[in-house]
Amino acid sequence: MQNITDQTLKFYVESNTQTDSDLCEELRSKTFNSMEFPEKISGRCTAQLLKLLINISQARFVADIGMFTGYSALSMAEALPTNGRVITCEINPKAIKFAKQIFAKSSHGYKISIQQIRAIQLLEQVSTPLDLAYIDADKKLYPVYYQKVLEKLKPGGIIVIDNMLWSGDAIKQETDRGKILAQLNSLITKDKRVENLLLAIDDGVQVIRKIT
Ligand SMILES: C[S@@+](CC[C@H](N)C(=O)[O-])C[C@H]1O[C@@H](n2cnc3c(N)ncnc32)[C@H](O)[C@@H]1O
């Protein structure tokens, strides 16, 4: 997605944020060289945020909702301890094939379990409380994913949701997606079960902590 933030600011912020591993760099460059709609890939600052949150919270069991070529899944796996696990879902077989080839080259790849199912099915299957979930699949279903993830999250657990500014349309609300995301931003902000912060990095990232 196009970012709302000015390009000079984005460049400065990325230049002063730690860089990806060599394999994540390779994943990004191959995604842009070989996949349709490569801009679906998560932003670099969002990936670094996920890694920081995993390290700070000492998360072990993580869900990645919408894998694409595996950038967020691999970034999170790299931050997890040896007994950490990422469960992820994707419905595009080409993206799954791509990600599997990259994960096979990573010493953290064993932590990632890929399921070729819809996000809602993945969330229904989760039986262990999640420490952290990253939501980045079908935007129209974000409100459903939010409620479902919250149910599956342990108290103190963290939810990160991407594209919550939707290139500024969450503010202007000129598209259906913009309206849905604006309503969700408002719902989360009023939700007494959580505390949150909407960060204006990349395409807008909601960071949410479940209180109880
Ligand atoms: C924005 S991309 C995810 C980017 C990824 N998190 C990354 O870091 O590169 C969204 C992905 O979700 C997948 N997707 C869309 N609807 C889905 C659904 N209902 N269940 C599972 N995956 C879905 C799409 O095929 C797409 O690859």
Which residues fall within 8 angstroms of residue 151, CB to CB, at 6 or more apart? none
Distance from the alpha carbon of residue 91 to the mean position of ligand 1, in angstroms = 7
The DSSP code sequence of 84-149 is: -EEEEE-S-HHHHHHHHHHHTT-TTGGGEEEE-S-HHHHHHH--SPEEEEEE-S-GGGHHHHHHHH
Pick the CATH number of 7-210 from 3.40.50.150, 3.40.5.50, 3.40.50.2000, 1.10.10.10: 3.40.50.150
> What pLDDT was estimated at residue 3?
58
Report the pLDDT averaged over residues 2-12: 77
Residue 5 has a pLDDT of 64
Q: Using one digit for the tens of pLDDT, what is the confidence trace for 40-57? A: 999 999 999 999 999 999
* pLDDT bracket for residue 203 (50, 70, 90): very high
Ligand 1 atom with minimal separation from the 73 CA: 8
Closest CA to 115 of 133, 89, 96: 89
CB 177, CB 166: distance < 8 Å: yes
Of 20, 42, 21, nearest in space to 31 by CA: 42
CA distance 111 to 82: 8
Token look-up 């990645």 returns: 64
Q: How far is the CA of 70 from the centre of ligand 1 (A)?
A: 10
Strand duo 130-135 + 85-89: pairing: unpaired
pLDDT at position 6: 81
Pick from 30, 37, 123, 136 the residue to mutate for probing ligand 1's pocket: most ligand atoms within 8 Å of its CB: 136
CA of 8 to the centre of ligand 1 (A): 28
Extents of the domains making up the chain: 7-210
Closest approach atom of ligand 1 to CA 121: 20
Within 6 Å (CB) of ligand 1, which residues are found? 40-42, 66-69, 71-72, 89-92, 95, 118-119, 136-138
Residue 210 · residue 156 · CB < 8 Å: yes
- Strands 85-89 and 61-65: what pairing? parallel
Residue 90 has pLDDT above 90, yes or no: yes
Name the residue with the closest Cα to ligand 1, atom 14. 137
Residue closest via CA to ligand 1's atom 26 equals 68
